[in-house]
Structure 1
């Protein structure tokens, strides 16, 4: 099993190109099931989750091809993938595939909308809370599907087609909004989604669906209207930049006291996180090129944050911000409101000497002037990168185990950090 060795103490200085967003790429890929024409996605990140989803979609009959690198193309440039689902050959998504990645459960929507039926295993993925699929299934039922649970599988049927309806989510759900958008695009009549997720990744999916011929109004707002169409066409779409990757490197730059340009990052996707960074003492400059993050000599100030759906502070940046606060000059409170089990990184950060105590859904972080390198173990995707951030600022050597979590969501992590002066080395299981 691969490990990452980090010798801390070097500030990050340089340019980091931001990859395409994993949380946008996955639903965009799944949307290829909605049409028998070719969907081309540019700037698709090279990630383990993307590769796994290609396997899952292939199981349903999606043919795909990947463009090779072009002359003069940057090494970190995203890949271009062409996906064509001329015929759905299997409406079953088996446990051995879906259990490895929660987002793959969303295939239930296009399979149901296009074929009138789907049998999809209940999902797996990171162990950061129950994250039930009840809201996703509620949306499909409102659109006229019959839903049964049979031996760990969701059996969804709508042999007469889905019908437009009013769908009100009792709480904001990104997955539920993705599923409802895809299902409603091919439903008969008009669907109105109330309390819909407003995340940029939801808007990116809606943009692709509109290019495919869907009729969608209000994406990016809390009320979305969809007029169903009989069929969708192919389209070409560029995956938006990954705001979570950008926020992660921004916090790494702030923690190490560096100066980094996050090439391609969008300030409007990260306002709450950037506000918190500025309160902590970092300087943030937005331009057409991206985001420049600096902290040259000023102390890290404590900042209280609470996670919330977009445009609030992202839960996917909570662990990274906690790592930053372990070096703050004072006490900060970090409250997690989205997932009930997302503090598993606390005990690993403590190995660096961090002082953190838990009070219900909050973590109280007492900043320390120095962290010490240590062996640590990743527990989930976002927690794993918080350990990398801490190790970059710690004195001495750290070894991060179970880095397959990192490979699920961060493209070329070691290369991007090394080019900015970090002492980071991957040690493969064979070494």
Structure 2
């Protein structure tokens, strides 16, 4: 479709400033948490992205009144939560993986929940088995039917002791959203502790939850009888901020990312500096952010491994790889979170990048994907002169990377799937590109 194509005239450094709002990976989960409250909740700095539209649709299908205010304000009133028709929920099937996080809150409020087929980016297996197993431990009964999974809680939900095989963000969110109103105490071991998880815990605590975050990835949740609404300003989107930083590096530009916070990006900033990028932090409470730029000279190769927090975030990997195609020498990237995250490099090679993929663990630590024939390590040889190409975006984060490559390349590229994927997680993408002087157009 023509409206899902962006024509990019490359070779122009990106210069200027853009604003990041609340983190996509927190906002959507905080919206689900609103179902748990007996009164209305208010979120601020909510980005105008498609994932927010999807969750809004799911909330409204379940009787939650959603209204918007100025500058990203979102008010959610769950006073009349009700069952949604399967057809209403299926409207969103395949668009997002958020529906499964509604299970705990809906079981508490209604005693029933339904999960349609789940979508999301095709970057790895990401099974829902861990979610279902945890819900069963809490006392949920799961009935598999042709239209999806129907869950009930005939005896209510009770606290559990549970250890995740892997510190999965989604599974940790599931346990948190279910445990806060469960009868008794829940102890979750090997939990994810990403900044977005901590921010979700802050949301739940504001609602009246009792949650203790211990050392060694242990979270203890004491169930309470009821929760109220919240008022919350989410942490800024560290994925979007880092992506613009990589874009400044790859295009030899300079971008001030207003709203970006240093504390949640320290691992990325260390790598950014090691590669040869420059940044400065403005801690002003109003109007502060991080300025990223290419200081001149050659970029340096690095060896990286993605990992759960506080390691290098997997969503930072793709934009960094584009920048590494311009570093002199061999860079190594070992992906340990998702087994199929390097699919986007096919298009980068088409543009002239020298990237080889390997199934071995090319890093200091063996990972889950070793000896399983997944191409989860990459060697990037640079610098490579990128040239224009027609690009098909495979997923959200890879899509941004394709656009960075197109902006850095010589010539005119056509990027397909911009609205389908990038609008899921990046607000006003076209407007931000224009503000940075990018030469783009819609056919």
TM-score under structure 1 length normalisation: 0.93
CA distance in 2, matches of 1:37, 1:220: 33
2:233 is equivalent to residue 233 of structure 1: no
2:357 is equivalent to residue 358 of structure 1: yes
C-alpha contact (below 8 Å) 1:135/1:173 kept by paired residues: no
CA distance in 2, matches of 1:130, 1:258: 36
2:399 is equivalent to residue 400 of structure 1: no
Call closer, same or farther: CA 1:219–1:100 in 2, change over 3 Å: farther
CA distance in 2, matches of 1:111, 1:287: 42
What SS does the corresponding residue of 1:353 show, helix, strand or coil? coil
1:285-316 per-residue CA deviation (whole Å, 9 max, x = no partner) reads 22312212121212111112111111111111
Instruction: Determine the structure 1 residue equivalent to 2:241.
Output: 246
C-alpha contact (below 8 Å) 1:202/1:219 kept by paired residues: no
Instruction: Determine the structure 2 residue equivalent to 1:85.
Output: 78
Which of these residues, 125, 130, 154, is aligned with residue 130 of structure 1? 125
CA distance in 2, matches of 1:118, 1:156: 5
Which of these residues, 258, 276, 285, is aligned with residue 253 of structure 2? 258
CA distance in 2, matches of 1:314, 1:236: 28
CA distance in 1, matches of 2:187, 2:426: 35
1:158-177 per-residue CA deviation (whole Å, 9 max, x = no partner) reads 22221112111111111111
Which of these residues, 42, 46, 49, is aligned with residue 47 of structure 1? 49
CA distance in 1, matches of 2:84, 2:113: 5
Gaps of 5+ in 2: 360-375
CA distance in 2, matches of 1:419, 1:308: 33
TM-superposed CA distance for 1:393, in Å, is 1.1
1:213-265 per-residue CA deviation (whole Å, 9 max, x = no partner) reads 11111189711111111111011111210010001001011111222221111
Paired residues in the alignment total 418
Instruction: Determine the structure 2 residue equivalent to 1:384.
Output: 399
TM-score under structure 2 length normalisation: 0.91
What SS does the corresponding residue of 2:437 show, helix, strand or coil? coil
2:60 is equivalent to residue 58 of structure 1: yes
CA distance in 2, matches of 1:145, 1:389: 45
Pairwise CA RMSD of aligned residues? 1.7
Which of these residues, 266, 277, 281, is aligned with residue 271 of structure 1? 266
Instruction: Determine the structure 2 residue equivalent to 1:17.
Output: 19
Call closer, same or farther: CA 1:345–1:196 in 2, change over 3 Å: same
Gaps of 5+ in 1: 70-76
5 Å-filtered alignment, 1:26-425, equals 26-67=28-69, 69=70, 77=71, 79-90=72-83, 94-151=89-146, 153-218=148-213, 222-288=217-283, 289-360=288-359, 361-403=376-418, 404-425=420-441
CA distance in 2, matches of 1:332, 1:395: 23
